[in-house]
Structure 1
Amino acid sequence: MKKYIIGIALIALALQSFKRASSDSTWNESISSPYQVSMQPQANNGKTIYNKVCMSCHQMNGTGIPGAFPPLAKSDYLNADVNRAIKQILNGSLGAITVNGKKYTTPMPKQELNDQQIADVLTYVYANWGNNKAVITPEMVKKMR
């Protein structure tokens, strides 16, 4: 089963290299408040981290891989608790989780990112794909560490 999941992840990564990346103008056009404008640099840094660390499993548009990797887009699990999301990156997970009514059992390894990188990548994820626009700070991450 583990070889199957790794194979899926590698195929997904290879397919992503053939897809044309969408321009950043879509994100820029969605900014409507001064508060959101101030988070744009953090989210832009987070996009770079996401593309290097998270995209192979959770996909370019946050939809995940059904049956293997949960979606981050419009994720009830993610939007319910930012502290749980921070802990997920810091510690990884071995147990089953339910996202948008579907159970996922694939382990997630902890990510070797610093507090700023975790804050940036989560701010990017929360700023996109129908999520709740939460802004994560390095101080929030440090508190959970």
Structure 2
Amino acid sequence: MKFFISSYLIIVSCLAYFLFQDKELQESIQRGKDIYSDFCVTCHLETGEGVAYTYPPLADSDYLMNNREASIQGVKYGRMGELTVNGVTYNNTMMPLGLEDDEIADVMNYVLNSWGNSGAKMVTVQEVNSIVK
């Protein structure tokens, strides 16, 4: 009986945690969509496809999925030089956008959960804050 009650409490706790996190993630994604529309859409376009050989795609991006920390760092501090996305090499400069850490987390959550991307876990303000140049 103790095992059943303990198991039940663990399952209910885990379910409550994931439901809360899902709501929090959905709210972050919505805020991130607005930030994307204000800061990112000019180069990466509305559907995240980017501009061939100039601005890399964010849609179905192997780079984003495999380089989480570098992706956050690029949004936070800007980036320059070569990077390869979906087998295509890009060599351009992305200037820092001047976003706060909470805005970076929100826009990353939007991008990592849009256009065929599927973020493994939610980007948090603490994670963005821990990324240094």
The answer to whether TM tops 0.5 is: yes
Residue in structure 1 matching 2:110, options 96, 121, 124: 124
- Separation in 2, partners of 1:66, 1:86: 22
Give structure 1 regions of 4+ aligned residues with deviation exceeding 6 angstroms: none
Matches within 5 A, 1:66-77: 66-77=52-63
- Separation in 1, partners of 2:125, 2:102: 5
Question: TM-score, structure 1 length as denominator?
Answer: 0.74
Equivalent AA in structure 1 for residue 129 of structure 2: K
Compute the displacement of 1:36 (Å): 3.2
- Separation in 2, partners of 1:36, 1:81: 23
- Separation in 2, partners of 1:41, 1:90: 21
Matches within 5 A, 1:1-145: 34=19, 35-133=21-119, 134-145=121-132
**Which one has the bigger strand percentage?**
2
**Structure 2 portions without partners, runs of 5+:** 1-17
- Separation in 2, partners of 1:128, 1:135: 13
After superposition, what is the alpha-carbon deviation per residue over 1:95-127, rounded to whole angstroms, capped at 9, x for unaligned? 111000001112111120000000000000011
Question: TM-score, structure 2 length as denominator?
Answer: 0.80
Compute the displacement of 1:92 (Å): 1.2
**Structure 1 portions without partners, runs of 5+:** 1-32
| SS of alignment partner, residue 106 of structure 1 | strand
Equivalent AA in structure 1 for residue 110 of structure 2: Y
Further displaced range: 85-94 or 53-62: 85-94
Q: Number of aligned pairs?
A: 113
Percent of matched pairs sharing the same residue: 35
